[in-house]
Amino acid sequence: MIRTFFPEDRVGRSLTLSTMAFALSSGVFYTVSTLYFTLVIGLGATTVGLGLGIAGGAGVLASYVSGWLADRVGAHRVQTVATALNGLAMLAYTLASDAVAFTLVACLAALMRSASGTSKQAMLARWYTGPERVVVRARMRVVTNVFIGLGTLAAAAALLTGTAVAYQVAMIASGVLLLVATVPLARLGSRVPEFPARMVVSAEGQAGDTPAKGPSPLKDRTYVASVACNAVVAMQFGLLNVGVPLWVASTGAPTAIVSVLLVLNTVVVAVLQVRVSRGVHDVRRAGIAVRRASWLLALACVLYALAGYGNVITACVLLLLAGLAHAFGEILGEAGGWGMAFELADQRNAGAYQGLSQTGYAIAAMVSPVLVTATAIEHGTVGWFALAALFVAGGTGAAAVARRHRPRATSVPGAPIPAGTSAKAR
């Protein structure tokens, strides 16, 4: 935990500080934004949903484009600018007064949030090698979950007050926190080289300290298949955020159990995400992790379905067991997905590859609420079993892709570090 929240290396420390501020902002925003849009701006729920849906589509596009841009101007530069513009977008929400302005601001915020996520992933791919990448990524996720929780608690003050001014202050705080998140990133850019973790071998077999141009990830069938399979598994996020609250309301369990499930999920991620992520830098082990995650998610779907048939106590017990299986499936799936995204990529074009990976997650985030409501919520047990089968199919496909993987010979992760970069910094 000390290494998670207080990393020793400069890059990890800067990313962690930035992630703390970013996650605090997210926690505040997620808690008050819907009420702000409807009660303060005065938009209808349908208008808000449509605007956010359009913004989600823009975010999908930005995920890939920002990865391509990171390869050309530097991942840390893209992340710094994107985070700053995201902060300005949060502040601009306080000036939006109609549906058009709201949608434009939402699109800017979604574009910059996606660009920030992709460029962070590209930074990890550039700076770290082998098992370091996945472990550091896991630590970032722990930090994110913990500080989103803290941001949610802080935003409770606005909910308790319940006034327009309180909601506006919360939205301003969200924007200011994002601007604060740019400070460690901006300071980092002037102190470290862009490609410290490896030398790249050119077509002539000569090593150099600048990246050779790699192939497009869209032409890499193995990587595209990996992204597609992991995106299917990643749709599990729609279960916890959308499906479970709606499903609980239709069972005999009290709605307060939703908060218990969210806390349980956060605790499991915080305590076990880093431990579970060790070793999945090996592509085959990463594929096995995703497959096991899909089985756990399928088990969770079955337990969620069964919770609709019992009394209050039975429903609560089944929901808790489902939440536990769901949480373990989530951390396994995330770890395996990171391992495949990093290790299957051609490091000469790391930004574009990570951009494609993030695009898969963005599509999953956009599709999953609709999919979950159209299956589990609309059709009950049959829908839950359909989701279980879908997760198993995605996990099985990911394991098959990983099993057929053959290591690349174009990059040398263990090659000498460029002059002036210390092993400590690496």
Summarised one tens digit per residue, pLDDT across range 78-100 is: 999 999 999 999 999 999 989 99
pLDDT for 136 beyond 50: yes
**Residue 368 and residue 278 in contact, taking contact as beta carbons nearer than 8 Å:** no
Place of tokens 């080289």: 193
Is 217-404 a CATH 3.40.50.300 domain? no
* Two structure tokens written together for 270: 């915080």
User: What's the average model confidence in pLDDT over 206-223?
Assistant: 68
Is there a shared CATH topology between the 2-193 domain and the 217-404 domain? yes
Which runs of E-coded beta strand occur in 206-365? 207-208
Model pLDDT for residues 281-332, shown as the tens digit of each residue? 889 999 999 999 999 999 999 999 999 887 889 999 999 999 999 999 999 9
**pLDDT value of position 290:** 95
CB crowding 225-255: b at 16 or more within 10 Å, else e = bbbebbbbbbbbbbbbebbbeebbeebebee
Least Cα distance to 344 among 395, 415, 406, 280 occurs for 406
**Cα distance between the two ends of the chain:** 20
**What single letter denotes the amino acid at residue 396?**
T
Least Cα distance to 124 among 382, 327, 426 occurs for 426
**pLDDT value of position 408:** 60
pLDDT tier for residue 213 given thresholds of 50, 70 and 90:
low
pLDDT for 347 beyond 60: yes
Distances (CA, A) of 229 to 55, 222, 357, 399: 24, 11, 11, 9
Q: Please state, rounded to an integer, the average pLDDT across all residues of the chain.
A: 84
Three-state DSSP at 201 gives strand
Domain 2-193: homologous superfamily in CATH: MFS general substrate transporter like domains (1.20.1250.20)
* Two structure tokens written together for 386: 């359909």
Q: Taking the model in full, what pTM does it have?
A: 0.80
Question: What residue segments make up the domains of the chain, in order of their start?
Answer: 2-193, 217-404
Model pLDDT for residues 350-382, shown as the tens digit of each residue? 888 999 999 999 899 888 888 888 899 889 999
User: What's the average model confidence in pLDDT over 239-244?
Assistant: 82
Model pLDDT for residues 253-292, shown as the tens digit of each residue? 888 888 888 889 889 988 889 888 888 888 999 999 999 9
**pLDDT value of position 190:** 54
Distances (CA, A) of 135 to 20, 143, 185: 17, 12, 20
Instruction: Give residues with Cβ within 8 angstroms of 421, minimum separation 6.
Output: 192, 193, 196
Whole-angstrom distance, CA of residue 180 vs CA of residue 170: 15
